[in-house]
Structure 1
Amino acid sequence: INFRNFLVDHLRKRVGKTGRWVLSEAKFCRWRKAPRGILWGTAGAGKTILASIIIEDLMELAKSNKRICVAFAFSRYTDALTVEEILAGLLRQ
């Protein structure tokens, strides 16, 4: 599975700078500074598009900081992935 293709597809779906507000949201900023953590969102809240925006932001940050590694996966209810497929997609990055 090439999750980068999913990322590009999701980024194309956004209109202009829609969703970039999340990057200045207090909860996101705290999460970004923390050594670990989880961000949650309710069903239908646009998490996939917001996640793609966050991933894009983190990948940009990683360009200037070699200590940062960004790995990501996307899941769709219509295409069930096995653990092996998800791990292979992460390792491929």
Structure 2
Amino acid sequence: MSLQVWVTVVGSCAGFCTTVAFIPQVWRIWKQGGDDISYAMLFIYILGVMLWLTYGLLLHAQAIILANSATGVLVLLALVLKRWKEGHGQGV
């Protein structure tokens, strides 16, 4: 395999791992609420994800674009769920 193929494989695997790693956090917020997660962390995280997405777009790097688009959706979902749980109580 060429170097470019290996770079794409490594980037895709890294993006997959970092994206999937956020799913348990979203699940926990859904089930238990997000009291133990700060808004500051979520906002800084989404800022970092958006910067990585911009970087990927500038480089036309599909692995970076896909991973950070998916992660951005998950972080936004976490923010919405946290806010919703605060407004509706934990027992939903």
Specify if TM > 0.5.
Answer: no
Q: Greater share of helix residues, 1 or 2?
A: 2
Q: TM-score, normalised by structure 2?
A: 0.35
Q: TM-score, normalised by structure 1?
A: 0.35
Rg (Cα) greater in structure: 2
